[in-house]
Amino acid sequence: MSVADKIIAIIAEQAFLEPKDVKPDATLEQLGIDSMALVECIFAIEECFDVQVPFNANDPAASQFDISSIQSIIDAVEALIAAQKT
């Protein structure tokens, strides 16, 4: 499973959707992911990839972790994984 597939699987589980219904251009809001589900997604991503996601629930916009779409989350996680390897 690729990084993108794993992230889509995590988000799909939280959104009670099939992975095929989680499109990269979708927003969390469109998928019905509320703030509680979002922190569960971030926890699952951290557990899955063993990374530390820089996300602050007090001010998501100020975090260095772009959650504006599924693709942006995939890009951000890939960057975290790459940074960890160097």
Partner 1 sequence: MNRVVITGQGTINALGMSVPETLDAMSNGVCAIGPLAFDNVDRLNIQIGGQIKGYVPQDHFNRSQISLYDPFTQFAVIAAQEAIAQSGLDFTKELAMQTGVVLGTAGGGLQTQDNNYRTVYQDGKNRVHPFVVPRLMNNAAVSHIAMIHGLQGPSFTVASACASSNHAMGQAYHMIRSGMARVMVTGGSESMLCFGGIKAWEGLRVMSPDGCRPFCATRNGMVQGEGAAVFVFEDYENAKARGAEILAEVIGFAMTSDASDIVMPNRKGAANAMRLALRDAGVGPDDVGYINAHGTATAMNDKVETAAIRDALGAAADRVMVSSTKAMHGHLIGGTGAVELLAAIAAVKDGMIAPTINHTKTDPDCDLDVVPNIARQEKVKVALSNAFAFGGLNAVVALKST
Residues found near partner 1 in the complex (CB under 8 A): 36-37, 39-40, 42-43, 46-47
How far apart are CB 46 and partner 1 at their closest, in Å? 6
Residue 52 or 86: the one with the smaller Cβ distance to partner 1 is: 52
Nearer to partner 1, 3 or 37 (CB): 37
Q: Residue 68 and residue 46: Cα distance in Å, rounded?
A: 18
Comparison of 2 and 16: residue with beta carbon closer to partner 1: 16
